[in-house]
């Protein structure tokens, strides 16, 4: 047992380690009262005088005193370790445990199973990391898009080519387990204490490869360029799956296919698996100079060596629709993220040092199933139409772009002014009317949201900022319903998992859901021979 005390502040010029002593003083504890004290989480508070705000982990000798302190003080809570306790089931597997997808959910599902003596087989439609990097960088350089290995598909999933952001809104003890495992596989230790941890695209690649190697050492198998091609339902079970052109007996199947596997969703629906449409969001990437964001948020402290590049998170509501910034990448780049030819998709990426000149984030507007008649795949079809229209507006593979001020004013296109902000989209940008790209029920609240954001952060919607479209892969347009035991209603050995199946919203929550899915499989089945 231990406690976490929050709201411990230090100035920019004092060591963060002072937070531990301040925590003990706030709790009126003496060195003899404790067994361990350490920094737990740190963040920047830029609301008034810019400073650091910390949470401190304190383990006392008197466990009952910990409970009494936590009960009395609103700034103190009991610490919950991210430990796993699994009671294995007794049902015999009639084939291998297959995991479709090797993104965060699939990776942590496979790793957890392996660590408890199971030997899953991972089917990943894309290539291994090194081959995938070569394919993606070739595409970014103007080459041909690889439909199997791209920003969406391949080892590590869509999160591999992002900021490696590990922020999450879920408050689950397993989050600490995920962070600790990532550090074990090569992530920087500072992610354990950052309130908004990130690994960076460059560092994340090695972490993913090391995690895969551990799975292999423990007896698991990872097959690249091996998509899940079909499933056969018989008697309330997935009896067989099809992969690499072969029909394979299936003991259990964890679906961790990611938010962009629209072809897999179609196959599942045709095979008799229930899918339901879910809300998601679409929009565009906005780019600013990072120094402008630093100045707007840090004021006179901008440029202080102790401060990281400034981040923001903004939201606005209008007529039942949410408008919000998502996946903010300090010192990052807007990257080409299509997974199908003839489409244009944008995403954001940062390296570990976040040293790029620009900041970018998605500006998204929420959409509902009712916007597309509500059939299971209508959202996916809407996404594809938007991406194809963006490709047409971009011409020759470039992305359609517009000055933010021109989009807000309703200008049909206008010229692009790179005086302040040089777009980072490597395939180039083309002046376009983004108001004509989006339906009015998206464009109108997006304009009003940008006006509101400009009041929150001075210059946000001017200062030469540029919008690049289309951002369409923020989350899955479908959900595969599952019961409390974690399996689909149509088959008791089919386990929907992660972001693609509608149960996560980023690297951390997907990884946590992957762990929980592994536990559900183990609670049902005994390990195979």
Are the beta carbons of 284 and 404 closer than 8 angstroms?
no
Are the beta carbons of 66 and 78 closer than 8 angstroms?
yes
100-157 pLDDT, tens per residue? 999 999 999 999 999 999 999 999 999 999 999 999 999 999 999 999 999 999 999 9
Q: Which of 13-17, 195-199, 321-325 is predicted least confidently?
A: 195-199
DSSP state of 142: T
* Class of residue 348 by CB neighbours under 10 A (exposed 0-12, middle 13-18, buried 19+): buried
Confidence tier at 529 by pLDDT (50, 70, 90): low
* Class of residue 239 by CB neighbours under 10 A (exposed 0-12, middle 13-18, buried 19+): middle
* Class of residue 466 by CB neighbours under 10 A (exposed 0-12, middle 13-18, buried 19+): buried
36 has a pLDDT exceeding 80: yes
Handedness of CA 446, 448, 451, 455 (dihedral sign): negative
Confidence tier at 287 by pLDDT (50, 70, 90): very high
Tell me what pLDDT residue 80 has: 86
| Rounded distance between C-alpha atoms, residue 336 and residue 349, angstroms | 10
Are the beta carbons of 335 and 139 closer than 8 angstroms?
no
For tokens 């204490």, what's the residue?
A: 193
Are the beta carbons of 109 and 97 closer than 8 angstroms?
no
Task: Provide, rounded to the nearest whole percent, the portion of the chain with pLDDT above 90.
Answer: 90
200-229 pLDDT, tens per residue? 889 999 999 999 999 999 999 999 999 999
Residue 459 dihedral angles phi and psi, to the nearest 5°: 85, 5
* pTM as predicted: 0.95
Tokens of 61: 């000798």
| Helix (H) and strand (E) counts in the chain | 13, 22
Q: Which helix (H) or strand (E) holds 246?
A: strand 246-255
Tell me what pLDDT residue 167 has: 80
Q: Half-sphere exposure of 181 toward its Cβ, with a 13 Å CA cutoff?
A: 25
């Amino acid at each position: 047992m231990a406690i976490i005390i929050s709201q411990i502040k230090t100035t920019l010029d004092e060591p963060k380690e002072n937070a531990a002593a301040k925590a003990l003083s706030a709790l009126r504890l003496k060195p003899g009262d404790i067994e361990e004290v350490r920094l737990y989480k740190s963040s920047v508070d830029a609301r008034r005088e810019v400073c650091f705000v910390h949470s401190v982990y304190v383990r006392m000798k008197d466990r009952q005193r910990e409970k009494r302190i936590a009960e009395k003080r609103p700034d103190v809570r009991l610490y919950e370790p991210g430990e796993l306790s699994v009671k294995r089931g007794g049902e015999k597997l009639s084939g291998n445990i297959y995991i479709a997808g090797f993104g965060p959910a699939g990776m942590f599902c496979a790793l957890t199973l392996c660590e408890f003596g199971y030997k899953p087989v991972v089917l990943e439609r894309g290539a291994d990391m090194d081959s995938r990097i070569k394919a993606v960088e070739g595409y970014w350089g103007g080459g041909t898009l690889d439909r199997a290995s791209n920003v969406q598909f391949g080892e590590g999933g869509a999160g591999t080519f992002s900021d490696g952001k590990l922020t999450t809104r879920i408050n689950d003890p397993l989050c600490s387990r995920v962070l600790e495992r990532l550090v074990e596989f090569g992530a920087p230790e500072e992610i354990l204490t950052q309130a908004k941890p990130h690994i960076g695209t460059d560092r994340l690649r090695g972490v993913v490869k090391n995690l895969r190697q551990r799975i292999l050492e423990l007896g698991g198998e990872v097959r690249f360029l091996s998509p899940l091609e079909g499933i056969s339902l018989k008697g309330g079970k997935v009896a067989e799956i099809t992969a690499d052109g072969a029909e394979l007996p299936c003991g259990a199947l964890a679906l961790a296919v990611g938010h962009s596997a629209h072809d897999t969703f179609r196959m599942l629906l045709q095979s008799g698996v229930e899918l339901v449409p879910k809300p998601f969001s679409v929009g565009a990437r906005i780019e600013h100079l990072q120094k402008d964001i630093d100045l707007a948020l840090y004021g006179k402290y901008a440029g202080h060596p102790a401060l990281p590049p400034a981040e923001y998170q903004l939201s606005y509501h209008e007529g039942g629709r949410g408008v919000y910034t998502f996946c903010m990448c300090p010192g990052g780049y807007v990257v080409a993220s299509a997974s199908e030819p003839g489409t244009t998709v944008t995403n954001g990426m940062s390296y570990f040092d976040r040293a790029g000149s620009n900041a970018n984030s998605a500006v998204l507007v929420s959409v509902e199933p009712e916007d597309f008649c509500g059939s299971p795949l209508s959202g996916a079809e809407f996404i594809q139409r938007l991406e194809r229209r963006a490709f047409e507006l971009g011409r020759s593979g470039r992305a359609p772009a517009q000055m933010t001020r021109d989009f807000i004013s309703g200008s049909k296109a206008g010229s692009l002014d790179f005086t302040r902000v040089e777009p980072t989209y490597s395939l180039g940008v083309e002046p376009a009317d983004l108001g004509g790209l989006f339906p009015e029920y998206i464009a109108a609240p997006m304009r009003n949201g940008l006006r509101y954001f400009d009041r929150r952060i001075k210059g946000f919607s001017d200062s030469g900022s540029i919008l690049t479209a289309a951002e369409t892969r923020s989350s899955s347009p479908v959900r595969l319903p599952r019961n409390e035991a974690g399996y689909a209603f149509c088959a008791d050995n089919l386990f929907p998992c992660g972001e693609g199946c509608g149960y996560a919203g980023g690297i951390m929550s997907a990884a946590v859901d992957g762990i929980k899915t592994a536990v559900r499989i183990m609670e049902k089945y005994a390990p195979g021979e």
